[in-house]
Structure 1
Amino acid sequence: MKKIYWIDINRFDKKIDKSTWLEVSEYLINHGYDVVLLTGYMHEKYVPFGYHVDIKYFKAFNLPFFFKISLSLTIFFWLFKNIKNNDIIIISPLSLFYCAITNFFKKLNIHLDIRTIPVEIHSVFDHIDYFLHWYLQLKFFKTIPNSYSFITYLLQKHIEKEFNTSFKNTVIWNSGVDFGRFKPVKDFLPLNNKKYLVTYIGVVTRNRGLDTVIKSLKNLNGEFTNKIRFQIIGSGNYLENLKELTTSLNLEDIVLFKGYLPYEKIPEALMDSDCFISPLPNRPEWEVSSPIKIFEYIACGRPIILTPIAAHKVIQNTNCSIIWTNGFNSEDFKLAFEYTYKNRIKMRKSAKSLSSNYQRIFSWNYQANKLYTFLKRFYG
């Protein structure tokens, strides 16, 4: 049985998105690979229920900037002692340098998987992090891996242009969703007897359009103000800013902050929602992405408000359950909220078909099979 070491230089217990690693690892295990996830943690070693992946946790300095360096060094020292010649390593760009050093002493099968380009670069530390863990890594060590995968073809083209290169031995696999975990509710609460709840779930950072959504709620026409509620489920470094914005606009009764939720509790938390929203603006990092949350929204069979970016347009839905904003400003979101509420009965009926329409191409099994087939063909 061939072994895969999948390295995630992160605090895995605090990640909003665990499903990429858990679901894809589970598929690879079920098809004959032995998968070991090597990662870090903040508070406790997260143990996923119902998955068979072996997760090895490593301690690191819990400080900005130093966390990634110390975790990388710890993992690669361990890897150097334990890896065997035919084993496969799946890494992200920030591990390229360490792979290059290890590869000097041991011949490795290195697969570079790139799921995003850097986002939220604001502080001095952010710029240093970008330079060390993205730019230098890909500038000097991009040819070290034997093979590559990207979350979208647009992302591959973006990186090739940025670093003036052309990657060989590549495969594209997108985000997905577990349709057994995320699924439509059979019995909705009557729409006329409750507030209409629109939900965003995910990381809360500056460049995700959430502040614009909150500002749009201030301008709702009077008939909608008492009917619509907007809840944010998630955490991040911009959460307090959004709470302050909500208070300054006197929207505390309309905007609800639910905080961080573990992956296992997210499906249940979405059950009361009447509509979902992905307000991502037209920035390069979002245009080339594959937002996992829109697939989870689809699986729940609810109407969805989406901005007109390329990453959202993979959903080619012809019925009225997808509401496209005209643009990215607060007026566009205001109109979308009002339209959604006015047409809520019709959209609820149409949204029931969303989940079944996309179960094949948006499932984790479908996406994981792309990676499995590639690895099996390339490495055996």
Structure 2
Amino acid sequence: MIIEKGKNTNNFREKKMVWIQPTSRDKALHKMADLEVLNQLAKRKYSIYIIKTTPKINEPSRLENSLVHIISIPLKHLPMILPVMRTFFLLFLLPVQILTTKLDFIIEAPDVSILSFIPILILSKMKKVKLILDIRTVPVETIGFRGFMLKFWFVASIIVAKQFFDGITIITSSMKKEICTRFHINPKKVGIWTSGVSLELFDPFKYVSERLDFKSKLGLSEKFVVFYHGVFTNTRGLTQTIEAMKILQNKYPDVILFLLGRGPIASNLRSLIRENGLQNNVIIHDAVDQSEVPKFISMCNVGIVPLPDHPHWRHQSPLKLLEYLAMKKVVILTDIPAHRAVIGKNECGLYISSIKPIEIAEAIENAYMNKLNLESWGRVGREIVREKYTWEKVAVDLENYLLSIE
């Protein structure tokens, strides 16, 4: 049974779902993008429980401004030990949840906790609980022992889900094709729900009056701002983008690269800025709460998503890109399938064929020379998001898939 978009769900009984939160995102649950789609499902008569770990004893049972319940496992964050301890707790917790709560679905991410599902494979069939593996990304940082283990449990989880789970959900159609081909999975078993954006939060009209004042407060009046927000890692093209600023430094001294976020290479980026004398051309600002991000995007002239053409980026659903588009910003971005799938040939995207500094510099120069056109070019971006990528539409896609496997 499929629910059409916009159809009222009052005739359906309340569904109950357990969502097992990956340990990598436990500390930032309140910022988790998944939480948005879960809130939308809660509005559609789903009772949802997130299982997460926390070092706090008195963790609230519900997040502020959220319809989602929390089941907390009190464990300290010890990177190598935490996933194993959590798996041990889940071995006991999941059977209890199935026996005491009339669950409809349990949704799990691909990691070591897949081991905790072995004891409930038969029990879930008896109680008619559907088990779903949800894949948001393939392993990205795969260096060293930790990287090896991430890849190992990712593959193991998919193999288990293929044989014993009721379904698999994946973030994009291209990743679905890759996973189904690699693991010989029937595509009919796999559903898709993408990243999404809140058009209410990422609303450029809210910042029309304060945008210039905020830009002035940051000391960026009369500057042409190229904006990036997100995690700082070696796999995101940030080093090359800073090197591109060195190329532009003398010719366009009013061009500023603004990096909002944090990450393991933040100190390396600061060193690179100092070594190249770019203190007046590149700004690193610490991460802010998600509610503050639209204000920062509003003050920029153009966004940038310089992800390299690596297998782990080709089939993603780039959340940051969607946030720029929702704010009607033109985006400089690499010509990879993940980006083409969203923007296509629309003029809100300025494609680069690689992350070579010279190509990034040329794209920034192109944006700069067309700065009077950027506002009109960016308008289509919000319509792209409105048509396909609001959290309401994403929740409908997920719900349709869940009901199709009942």
TM value normalised by structure 2? 0.85
Q: Determine if contact 2:19/2:51 at 8 Å carries over to the other structure.
A: yes
**C-alpha distance after superposition, 1:45-98 (max 9, x if no partner):** 587543211123323342222222222332443232222454310111213322
> Which of 196, 215, 231 is matched with 2:224 structurally?
196
> Which of 113, 119, 128 is matched with 2:149 structurally?
128
Superposed displacement of residue 308, structure 1? 0.2
Which shows bigger deviation, 273-282 or 246-255? 246-255
Q: Determine if contact 1:100/1:144 at 8 Å carries over to the other structure.
A: no
Gaps (5+ residues) in structure 1? none
Change (3 A) 1:199 1:17: farther
Q: Determine if contact 1:16/1:234 at 8 Å carries over to the other structure.
A: no
2:338 aligned with 1:311: yes
Q: Determine if contact 2:239/2:269 at 8 Å carries over to the other structure.
A: yes
State the distance in 2 between where 1:345 and 1:42 align: 51
SS at match of 2:21: strand
State the distance in 2 between where 1:41 and 1:274 align: 39
SS at match of 1:143: helix
State the distance in 2 between where 1:231 and 1:237 align: 18
State the distance in 1 between where 2:110 and 2:346 align: 40
SS at match of 1:117: coil
- Residues 361-380 of structure 1 aligned to structure 2 (within 5 Å): 361-379=388-406
- Residues 92-241 of structure 1 aligned to structure 2 (within 5 Å): 92-94=109-111, 95-107=113-125, 108-131=129-152, 133-184=153-204, 185-187=207-209, 188-189=211-212, 193-220=221-248, 222-224=250-252, 226-241=253-268
SS at match of 1:57: strand
Q: Determine if contact 2:133/2:158 at 8 Å carries over to the other structure.
A: no
2:329 aligned with 1:285: no
State the distance in 1 between where 2:198 and 2:21 align: 21
Superposed displacement of residue 173, structure 1? 1.4
**How many corresponding residue pairs?**
377
Change (3 A) 1:354 1:263: same
SS at match of 2:165: coil
Superposed displacement of residue 104, structure 1? 4.2
Q: Which residue of 2 aligns with 1:349?
A: 376
State the distance in 2 between where 1:139 and 1:260 align: 37
Change (3 A) 1:298 1:93: same
> Which of 83, 87, 90 is matched with 1:72 structurally?
87
State the distance in 2 between where 1:313 and 1:278 align: 12
- Residues 259-270 of structure 1 aligned to structure 2 (within 5 Å): 259-270=286-297
Percentage identity across paired residues of the two chains: 25
State the distance in 1 between where 2:123 and 2:151 align: 28
State the distance in 2 between where 1:48 and 1:234 align: 23
Q: Which residue of 2 aligns with 1:334?
A: 361
Alignment-mate amino acid for residue 364 of structure 2: F
TM value normalised by structure 1? 0.90
Q: Which residue of 2 aligns with 1:40?
A: 53
**C-alpha distance after superposition, 1:116-163 (max 9, x if no partner):** 1110111222213322x2123334553221011111121122223333
Change (3 A) 1:97 1:75: closer
Change (3 A) 1:306 1:64: same
State the distance in 2 between where 1:113 and 1:317 align: 26
Q: Determine if contact 1:148/1:167 at 8 Å carries over to the other structure.
A: no
**C-alpha distance after superposition, 1:4-37 (max 9, x if no partner):** 0011122546449945322111111111110111
Q: Determine if contact 1:61/1:71 at 8 Å carries over to the other structure.
A: no
Which shows bigger deviation, 341-350 or 113-122? 341-350
Q: Which residue of 1 aligns with 2:77?
A: 62
Q: Which residue of 1 aligns with 2:8?
A: none
Pairwise CA RMSD of aligned residues?
2.6
Alignment-mate amino acid for residue 186 of structure 2: S
Alignment-mate amino acid for residue 81 of structure 1: V
SS at match of 1:119: coil
Q: Determine if contact 1:100/1:141 at 8 Å carries over to the other structure.
A: no
Alignment-mate amino acid for residue 222 of structure 1: N
Q: Determine if contact 2:42/2:48 at 8 Å carries over to the other structure.
A: yes
Alignment-mate amino acid for residue 23 of structure 2: N
Alignment-mate amino acid for residue 35 of structure 1: I
Q: Determine if contact 1:307/1:327 at 8 Å carries over to the other structure.
A: yes
Q: Determine if contact 2:124/2:130 at 8 Å carries over to the other structure.
A: no
Superposed displacement of residue 167, structure 1? 4.7
State the distance in 2 between where 1:310 and 1:197 align: 26
Q: Determine if contact 2:30/2:63 at 8 Å carries over to the other structure.
A: no
Q: Determine if contact 1:16/1:203 at 8 Å carries over to the other structure.
A: no
Change (3 A) 1:165 1:147: closer
State the distance in 1 between where 2:390 and 2:329 align: 17
Change (3 A) 1:233 1:74: farther
Superposed displacement of residue 362, structure 1? 1.5
SS at match of 1:112: strand
State the distance in 2 between where 1:261 and 1:57 align: 25
Change (3 A) 1:70 1:61: farther
**C-alpha distance after superposition, 1:154-203 (max 9, x if no partner):** 11222233334435422111111111110113245399942111111112
